[in-house]
Amino acid sequence: MRRNLLAAALALAVSTTAAAQAVPQPVEQAAREIAAELAKQCPLAPANDTAAYDACRRGLFASQALRARLPAILLWGRESKAPGATLRTTHLTQFAPDVWTNMYVPLFMFNGRYTLEWVAEERLYRMRLEAAFRNRLAPGQFPYPFWHEEAKWATYENANAVTLWIAPDTQLLRAAQFTDIAPTPRLQAVTPVKHAKHDGQWVWTDAQGRTQPAVTLFDGVLRPDNPYIHAMDRQYRDLALQMRESQCSQCHVPNNPEKMSRLVLLSTPAHAAGEIDRLIKSVRDDRMPVDEFRNTVPLSPDQKRWLLESAEAFRASWRQAQAWERERTKEAP
């Protein structure tokens, strides 16, 4: 009996080792290419180096290896520190590829080193990249003030790894996370930054009259002479007003008042641009807004029309802005 148990245990140990070693070639290759691209576009730099950050943002926004492996919706957030936590039990935010590559993953710097392993509970490969966070950028360089919550800012500041969850069949990323408790050492010393208490605004106007956070208008990613940026700015403000009137801003904001397990952010131009098709569809089909019990709340015909009109105007400018960029890239790559 004991011998059988021992044999079974040995067989199990051997089979898990074998499984761990046998990462299929396509997954192996995806990981290698992603790591190389991240290290090339976003190498280690001082944590306040805005030029390095912008180069990384432009590089990843237009990237090959990474973008080819992003799904329509990527889940993003802190790794949970609760024992036994899984992706399903962790609060995550959903992002379109444009949003994540413009404003989230470029906040990290990479040295190209990673581990890759099969995680049976998730049925996904876990690629864990050594990373450091750009904590000393100006407030308008973050998609929103992460310091609205002290623990969140501390985890970002001290992050030492970014985890990418890769699907075995498609090699697409399903989720991405960051943590400050990976077993690998910090890549550089962190000088903490203490920000003024967050005043509850997710978008504001600075002393020069510019909309902030600037990154949420794709500043540094779209060309500065893109003629549609101003229209997007103005139309987002109209849309934001309509979303306030229609209760959307009670739920779809970073502090997640309704504790959605999959947060959808609409609180800046870039976040709204990433969700704009889904936004229009959910309002048109009367699926949004909902109340605290998730029952749909009908909008008045006027409210619905104004909300849809402002969303469609914003979407049209965002599409024109992108088309203009594509034309310019063709003319002068």
Chain positions contacting ligand HEC, by CB under 6 A: 243, 246-248, 250-252, 258, 260, 264, 275, 278-279, 282-283, 288-292, 294
In the complex, the smallest distance separating the C-beta of residue 292 from ligand HEC, rounded to whole angstroms, is 5
Nearer Cβ to ligand HEC (106/269): 269
Q: Which residues contact 172 (CB under 8 A, 6 or more apart)?
A: 69, 70, 71, 166
In the complex, the smallest distance separating the C-beta of residue 303 from ligand HEC, rounded to whole angstroms, is 8
Q: Are 275 and 283 in contact (CB under 8 A)?
A: no
In the complex, the smallest distance separating the C-beta of residue 159 from ligand HEC, rounded to whole angstroms, is 27
CA 194 to chain centre: 23
Nearer Cβ to ligand HEC (14/297): 297
In the complex, the smallest distance separating the C-beta of residue 3 from ligand HEC, rounded to whole angstroms, is 53
The structure tokens 């089979």 sit at 15
In the complex, the smallest distance separating the C-beta of residue 166 from ligand HEC, rounded to whole angstroms, is 22
How many whole angstroms separate alpha carbon 314 and alpha carbon 241? 13
Other beta carbons less than 10 A from residue 197's beta carbon: 10
Nearer Cβ to ligand HEC (55/260): 260
How many whole angstroms separate alpha carbon 236 and alpha carbon 111? 37
In the complex, the smallest distance separating the C-beta of residue 271 from ligand HEC, rounded to whole angstroms, is 10
How many whole angstroms separate alpha carbon 220 and alpha carbon 212? 13
In the complex, the smallest distance separating the C-beta of residue 200 from ligand HEC, rounded to whole angstroms, is 17
Nearer Cβ to ligand HEC (89/205): 89
How many whole angstroms separate alpha carbon 253 and alpha carbon 148? 12
- What the block records as the tokens of 287 is 């699926």
Nearer Cβ to ligand HEC (73/190): 73
In the complex, the smallest distance separating the C-beta of residue 87 from ligand HEC, rounded to whole angstroms, is 16
Other beta carbons less than 10 A from residue 239's beta carbon: 26
Q: Are 28 and 118 in contact (CB under 8 A)?
A: no
Q: How far is CA 149 from CA 43, 164, 267, in A?
A: 28, 24, 16
Nearer Cβ to ligand HEC (150/309): 309
Nearer Cβ to ligand HEC (137/308): 308
Instruction: Count how many Cα atoms sit within 13 Å of the Cα of residue 190 in the half-sphere of its side chain.
Output: 22
Closest C-alpha among 203, 264, 198 to residue 232 = 203
Nearer Cβ to ligand HEC (72/323): 72
